[in-house]
A = this chain, B = another copy of it.
Amino acid sequence: MKINAENIAPTCEKFEWAFEFLGKPWTGLIIRALLHGPKRAKEIAESIPNISGRVLNQRLKELEDIEVVKRTVYTERPVRIEYELTEMGKSLEPAMEEVQKWADMWWETMQKQDK
C-alpha cells in the first residue's frame, strides 16, 4: 500500500491517539509499574516518586475507562482494591521497553545540552 496523504490519515489518527494517550504525564510510569503485576494504588505510588494521590487516582480512572487497566475490589475487611493491566495494557510492554531503551541511550546527551 503506497503511503500518500489519503491513506496516511487513518495511520496518523491511530498513531496520534496512541501517543497522545501515552504522553500524558505519569501514564507511561503507571503502566510500567503495572507491567510487574497487579498492585494497590499505594504500591503504585511507592514505585513512582513525586506522583500525588489525586493525580494517580485520576490517571487510574482514565486508564480504567479506556480498558487499559482493570480495577478489582476484594470485599475483605478492610476492603482491598487492586489494579492490573488488561490484555490491551500488557501489550504495551514492547513499546515501553523501546522508549526506555531510547531514553537510557540519550539521557546523558540531553543532560549535557541542559535542555
Q: Is A99 an interface residue (CB 8 A)?
A: yes
Question: Closest Cβ of chain B: how far from A31's Cβ, in Å?
Answer: 10
Contact check, A24 vs B22: say whether CB atoms are below 8 A apart: no
- Selecting from A53-61, A70-78, A103-111, the interface stretch reads A103-111
- Chain A contact-residue range equals 35 or more
Q: Which residues of B contact A115 (CB under 8 A)?
A: 65-66
Contact check, A98 vs B103: say whether CB atoms are below 8 A apart: no
Contact check, A24 vs B23: say whether CB atoms are below 8 A apart: yes
Q: Is A37 an interface residue (CB 8 A)?
A: no
CB contacts under 8 Å to B, within A29-48, are: 29, 32, 46-48
Which residues of A are in contact with B by a Cβ distance under 8 Å? Answer: 3, 5, 8-9, 11-20, 22-29, 32, 46-49, 65-67, 88, 91-92, 94-95, 97-107, 109-110, 113, 115
A-B contacts, 27 listed (Cβ < 8 Å): A5-B47, A5-B49, A8-B48, A11-B100, A11-B104, A12-B29, A15-B29, A16-B28, A16-B29, A19-B22, A19-B23, A19-B27, A20-B23, A22-B23, A22-B99, A23-B24, A65-B115, A66-B110, A66-B113, A67-B109, A88-B106, A88-B109, A91-B106, A92-B102, A94-B101, A95-B102, A97-B98
